[in-house]
């Protein structure tokens, strides 16, 4: 059974699809059977494609662009995913409340940057674990967000290796 990982940001057009692309690529390279998807906590961008700047930064870094239409996370998603990775403390807080409403355990909701080497183990508004929304900035903001995602991806990969058999 493949691992199932969901990345989550606000509108699901920048950070979470970028994280989806990075993690899917890392899992494929490591031959780890995983399904990686993304969603947002808001439906304001529902149906939209990945932001062109996010697409450009991913392509420049050599990551495949996922087939993607923005969607918001639903109560039914809790229990379908082994790990849900929000981009900010605000997303984490929102997802914890949704998980409680869904009746599903909240242990699977962890901030993406918790997996970055040297990161604080638990989220808080002042933990410094947020990946800021690049949508309001320029290309350098998207490049910075991608670098933060990539830095955390090794820790997510290590987490996945502990839960899956080693491929032949």
DSSP character at residue 84: E
Specify whether 9 is catalytic.
yes
For residue 62, the Cα-to-chain-centroid distance in whole angstroms is 18
Active site residue 15: yes
Catalytic residue among 4, 82, 90, 133: 133
The CA distances from residue 162 to 3, 32, 127, 158, in Å, are 11, 11, 26, 6
Q: Which of 61, 64, 68, 32 is nearest to 157 (CA)?
A: 32
| From 15, 55, 104, 113, the catalytic residue | 15
133 is catalytic: yes
Catalytic choice (9, 25, 71, 77): 9
Annotated active-site positions, please? Answer: 9, 15, 133
């Amino acid at each position: 059974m493949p691992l199932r990982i969901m990345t989550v940001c606000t509108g699901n057009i920048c950070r979470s699809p970028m994280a989806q692309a990075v993690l899917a690529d890392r899992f494929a390279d490591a031959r780890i059977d995983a399904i990686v998807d993304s969603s947002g906590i808001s439906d304001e961008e529902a149906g939209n494609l990945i932001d062109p700047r996010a697409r450009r930064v991913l392509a420049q870094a050599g990551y495949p662009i996922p087939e993607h239409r923005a969607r918001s996370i639903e109560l039914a998603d809790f229990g379908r995913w082994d790990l849900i990775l929000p981009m900010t403390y605000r997303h984490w807080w929102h997802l914890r409340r949704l998980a409680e409403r869904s009746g599903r355990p909240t242990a699977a909701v962890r901030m993406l940057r918790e997996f970055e080497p040297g990161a604080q183990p638990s989220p808080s508004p002042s933990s410094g674990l947020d990946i800021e929304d690049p949508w309001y900035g320029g290309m350098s903001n998207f490049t910075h967000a991608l670098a933060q995602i990539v830095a955390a991806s090794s820790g997510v990969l290590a987490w996945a290796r502990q839960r899956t058999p080693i491929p032949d």
